[in-house]
Chain A
Amino acid sequence: MRAPGPLLEVEGLSKAFGGVTASDALSFTVMPGEVHALIGPNGAGKTTAVAQIAGELKPDDGRIRLDGREISHLPVHRRALLGLGRSFQITSVLPDFSVLDNVALAVQAHAGHSFRLIRNARRDARLRDPARAMLTRVGLAAVAGRAAGALSHGEKRKLELAMALAGHPRLLLLDEPMAGMGGEDSARMVEVLQGLKGTVAMLLVEHDMDVVFALADRITVLDGGRVLATGDPEAVRADPAVIAAYLGEEGVACQPC
């Protein structure tokens, strides 16, 4: 048996857009079951890093391994099937479908191929039941029949999480899952994520330091595409480079930076 190594290994990831270096030889790991926060000021390269891990952006250089397996050359859908679940910084749902349809499709995507042409998928309990259970878990059961496009912003965020979870991912890539949410919704989302802690690893991009310190086992700080510091919350909080470059301006427990 292999010793339990990191679930996700990012090694020397580099990506430039014209003159802007969005990822500069990034290296970090996410351990199984760990909540790993990726923080940094606007434009630090957090979303770019996530997009390369998910496979939407092709890195200029570097390697990405999931559970020891090189995934750098796989297309987005293959990585998703290997266990990467994703929520986007800008909400991304299927607007014309019902909320339940959205999650049922996520279940379906992980249930083998979809070349099934005859049976009504909306009456398929193997898809609908798990989807409904997932909606209950994130607190959307009451709006299951509504068109996803008609949801409030906070509800869409929860729906995205439900879709990501429906595929039983090993690693959740969450790009600011609380962005634009009201205080109450946001607190509920933190609760949901807290409940997930330990069952699924997360790479969490988040600006709200209260949330980060409440959830994260480890933190990686990015600035200008480079890793400024990585370690457990206490160590990062005390890191002089981090204080100088990022946390320092508003104090350690600053509100949305």
Chain B
Amino acid sequence: MAERAPLSPRVRLGLHLLGLLALALLPPLLTLIDEPFYVTLATRVLILALAAVSLDLILGYGGMVSFGHAAFVGVGGYVTGILAHHAFMGDPLMLFGLAVPGMNEALIVWPLAMAVSAVAALLIGVLSLRTGGIHFIMITLAFAQMLYYLLVSLQAYGGDDGLTLWGRNTVAGTDLLADRETFYYVCLGLLAVVVLAFRRLVDSRFGLVLQGARQNERRMRALGVPVTRYRLAAFTLAGAVAGLAGVLSVNQAEFVSPTLLHWTHSGELLVVVILGGMGTLVGPVLGAFVLMGLEEVLAGVTEHWRVILGPVLVLVVLYARAGLHGWVIGPRRHADADGEGAS
């Protein structure tokens, strides 16, 4: 493809905000055209996007090709599901001799689920980040599948069949999230906060180290940077945000099962990031909408929609190297003296 002149950072920011505005106007528009069901679908897309954005931090900026990111989504989801289950049954959860009461309160459950996902990511990260390249891909996949089979074998929590919840989490005791549109806006708000926070993060000292290590790990070490430490921190943070996506997903479906952690879900997250554009943060949001949209459309046309989707992805990887995001709004401008940087 011909090289395009990069847009100024201001214009790019404007386009991104326009996209946010469109998402904010989506529910009333869908109600207007009498298709409120699509609000639910759009909510699922936003949740997928949140998980993909967290993967983009480590994949697009950190160069860590994790094939097990769904594990952290699943951990967040199961913390929500298990606590809700115990709240419903009225018996506490016994953990290492500690009695944890069941809970449905989002203000406690959500941060807790993120923390547990972060710990899971920290542990898996410590073990995986000793390796690189194809080994890293395989070992993250292996850990995720281990967790998957662990949950399948947990009969107390439904095993293979998973757990059905008796409603969404409460917020400060209210059932705010039960409303379809409110829940959509909660998801949109959290996604926007995460994307904005990550944008700052990737331009910070921490973010530059992370990107530097992706480009040339050897050089970064020779400069005096303990590369692994920064990668682990990013991996843990991405795990926590993936956990939040799991929380939302379980609240949305009012159901949790090991499928959430299955390797196909990890693969789907990779596809969303690559399709949308690695290292762009906004790209994965676009990727999530296009992938789910294509699935929706193609599944209506033929049951062999995967056969069509596959080649579409190959074309994107071949011809739109920066993903759909790069194709739509062009490359990011290379750094000049003090301007926005290249990436």
Q: Which residues of A pack against B, CB within 8 Å?
A: 54, 56, 75-78, 80-81, 86, 88, 92-98, 100-101, 104-106, 108-110, 114-124, 127-128, 144-147, 163, 167
Contacts and interface: CB of A to CB of B under 8 A. Distances in A.
A243 B282 CA distance: 64
A108 B221 contact: no
Count class of interface residues, chain B: 35 or more
Contacts of B337: 100, 144-145
Interface of B: 200-201, 203-209, 211-212, 215-216, 218-227, 230, 233, 334-343
Given A114-B230, A117-B206, A120-B203, A98 B342 contact: yes
A14 B138 CA distance: 35
Contacts of B200: 117-118, 120
B286 to A, nearest CB: 22
Nearest to A99: B335
A97 B205 contact: no
Given A97-B341, A118-B200, A147 B215 contact: no
List 4 tightest A-B contacts by C-beta distance, closest first: A98-B335, A80-B224, A145-B336, A109-B223
A93 B219 contact: yes
A108 B205 contact: yes
Nearest to A115: B206
Contacts of A105: 208-209, 212, 220, 223
Contact of B205 (A56, A121, A146): A121
B208 A108 contact: yes
A116 B205 contact: yes
A16 B221 CA distance: 24
A145 B341 CA distance: 9
Contacts of A104: 208
A99 to B, nearest CB: 9
B206 A167 contact: no
Contacts of A119: 204-205
Given A93-B216, A98-B335, A115-B233, A109 B225 contact: yes
A114 B218 contact: no
18 contacts: A77-B223, A81-B224, A94-B211, A95-B216, A97-B343, A98-B341, A101-B341, A105-B212, A108-B209, A109-B209, A114-B206, A114-B209, A116-B204, A117-B206, A118-B204, A120-B204, A122-B341, A127-B205
A101 B341 CA distance: 8
Given A77-B226, A94-B215, A100 B221 contact: no
B222 A54 contact: yes
B166 to A, nearest CB: 39
A54 B219 CA distance: 12
Q: Secondary structure of the B side of the interface?
A: helix
Contacts of B216: 92-95
A120 B226 CA distance: 21
Most chain B beta-carbon neighbours within 10 Å: one of A81, A109, A115, A118 = A109
A96 B206 contact: no
Contact of A128 (B203, B205, B338): B338
A101 B209 CA distance: 11
A122 B215 contact: no
B206 A97 contact: no
B225 A77 contact: yes
Contacts of A54: 222
Contacts of B223: 77, 80, 105-106, 109-110, 163, 167
Contacts of A122: 203, 208, 335, 338-341
A123 B341 contact: no
A162 B278 CA distance: 30
A145 B233 CA distance: 29
A126 B78 CA distance: 45
Most chain A beta-carbon neighbours within 10 Å: one of B218, B219, B220, B230 = B219
Contacts of A56: 218, 221
B3 to A, nearest CB: 12
Contact of B222 (A76, A95, A146): A76
B85 to A, nearest CB: 36
A95 B334 CA distance: 11
B179 to A, nearest CB: 34
A98 B336 CA distance: 7
A77 B204 contact: no
A17 B205 CA distance: 39
A140 to B, nearest CB: 13
Contacts of A115: 205-206, 230, 233
A88 B204 CA distance: 27
B218 A101 contact: no
B224 A146 contact: no
B204 A96 contact: no
Contacts of A147: 334-335, 342
Given A92-B216, A96-B343, A121-B207, 18 more contacts: A56-B218, A75-B226, A77-B225, A94-B212, A94-B215, A98-B341, A101-B341, A108-B205, A109-B224, A119-B204, A119-B205, A121-B203, A122-B338, A122-B341, A144-B336, A145-B336, A147-B334, A167-B223
Contacts of A95: 215-216
